[in-house]
Structure 1
Amino acid sequence: MRTNYPAKVLLAWGEAISGHAELRDWLMKNGYPELGLFTFALRNKPEAREWLMKNGHPHLMAIITGIEGDTKALEWLERNGMSVLKHVALT
């Protein structure tokens, strides 16, 4: 479960979330498929959500389900030392 990323990758992820398809594709082709697939999972693509869970990224799914109002996901993030990700879900 990767939680540390270079600043430029986080910037690209933010742009990908906003709909920048080229950056999403760059993430997926350059070692960050979980961040690229996050953008699909955020838009309720079941295959992307399944991939995140099956490939060791439950924290990313917890952000998404936390955004959707799942308080258990937010509690899970907090319990597992990912309070920053909890706050991402809440903003």
Structure 2
Amino acid sequence: MTSQTARLNDALLKRFMHGFYGYGNLHAPFWFVGMEEGGGKSFDEIATRLRVWQMRGEKLTEDVMDYHVDIGMPDFFYDKIKLQPTWAKLIRVLLGL
């Protein structure tokens, strides 16, 4: 089945939309709340994100590094680490407190 004829699992997508808050620890002293994360530029990427979230237990929050490694996007975590623009700014704010 190609991505043009494939469909997402509607029930899984709904659970993700209502049950995934983002990355980190809900008991942490600081939270960074954003509108949405980047990505989702292809059907296959969205399907992979949903499948991995389900495989990892459909948790409310995920470890940002572990999750992105599992979806095949380790770019910000290994080798020549690049600062992700949004996170870099938020981290600088926190370090300045």
Q: Normalization by structure 2: what TM-score?
A: 0.28
Q: Look at both structures and tell me which one has the larger radius of gyration over its CA atoms.
A: 2
Which structure exhibits the higher relative contact order, with contacts defined as CA atoms closer than 8 Å and separated by 6 or more residues? 2
Q: Larger % of strand: which?
A: 2
The two structures have a TM-score, normalised by structure 1, of 0.29
